[in-house]
Copies of this chain bind each other. A is one copy, B any other.
Amino acid sequence: MTVREGATAEQHRRLRQMIMDGELPPGSVLLETPLSKQLGVSRTPVREALARLAQEGLITRRTRGYVVHELRPEEIIEVFDARIVLECAIAERAATTADDFQLTRIEQLTEELERLLHRLRTAGKGARAAKIRDEIRPLNVAWHAELRAAANSKTLTGLLEQILDVQRIYDPLMKQTEYEEIALGQRQHNEIVTALRKRDPQAAKDTMAAHLTTVRQSKIAEFTRTVHERT
């Protein structure tokens, strides 16, 4: 049977997807009435869906309708700083709370990423490489998700996921990450896993801080490059 899903939930999911896919880039205007026609439902579920997106920080209210959240460069950095705070806390916590099953899964994901990374190095820069990147990305997301689960804090996890959502609005605008940066990230993943196994919260936290700081650097560089080209 198909999953029973209310119209509100469905439109919420659809709009969210459209934002994350870049179909509705930052600054896009969202109006209740036209959207309800476009999506083929009445205004009620659209209204509710928009209210949820607003509370999630993905869109902002205007006097009339909503706008997909736009961040000024310094705000992008600010959001990333908050992410670092939360994800470091999660790494630190996970070092003590992760059970063996969870650690094993993280290790498996790390190894899988390792394999893909080797394939990417040999693949160079063509269509083959792009395909491998498409496999790497969700695994990376899964790696961080597994770490969150291991930290065993619904509160921290929830807050971090909120932040990640806001960040993802800008993902479609980003250029692809350089191979060297991915490789560095992978080395750091390995270090973090080691720290978790050693049950060393301080090391887990510090390594995560290093990891995210480099990711931040590269993302900001990508972003400014990209925005520069769009003018």
Bound state CA distance, A7 and B28, in angstroms? 27
User: By the criterion CB–CB under 8 Å, are B85 and A89 in contact?
Assistant: yes
Q: Return chain B residues, CB-CB under 8 Å to A31.
A: none
Chain B residue at smallest Cβ distance from A80: B155
Between A and B, 14 residue pairs with Cβ closer than 8 Å are: A48-B48, A51-B52, A75-B154, A75-B155, A78-B154, A78-B155, A81-B93, A81-B155, A81-B156, A82-B89, A82-B159, A86-B86, A159-B162, A159-B163
Bound state CA distance, A52 and B53, in angstroms? 11
Task: Indicate if A79 sits at the interface (CB-CB under 8 A).
Answer: yes
User: By the criterion CB–CB under 8 Å, are B86 and A85 in contact?
Assistant: yes
Tell me, rounded to whole Å, the shortest Cβ–Cβ distance linking A134 to chain B: 30
Task: Indicate if A55 sits at the interface (CB-CB under 8 A).
Answer: yes
Do A153 and B52 contact each other (CB < 8 Å), given the known contacts A159-B159, A159-B162? no
Interface size counted on chain A using CB atoms at 8 A? 24
Task: Indicate if A10 sits at the interface (CB-CB under 8 A).
Answer: no
**How many copies of this chain are found per oligomer?**
2
Which among B55, B82, B93, B159 is the interface contact of A153 at CB below 8 angstroms?
A: B82
Chain A 78-114, CB-CB to B under 8 Å as 1, else 0, gives: 1101100110010001000000000000000000000
Task: Indicate if A181 sits at the interface (CB-CB under 8 A).
Answer: no
Which among B52, B79, B93, B154 is the interface contact of A55 at CB below 8 angstroms?
A: B52
Q: Return chain B residues, CB-CB under 8 Å to A82.
A: 89, 153, 155-156, 159
Q: Return chain B residues, CB-CB under 8 Å to A153.
A: 78, 81-82
Task: Indicate if A56 sits at the interface (CB-CB under 8 A).
Answer: yes
Tell me, rounded to whole Å, the shortest Cβ–Cβ distance linking A96 to chain B: 12
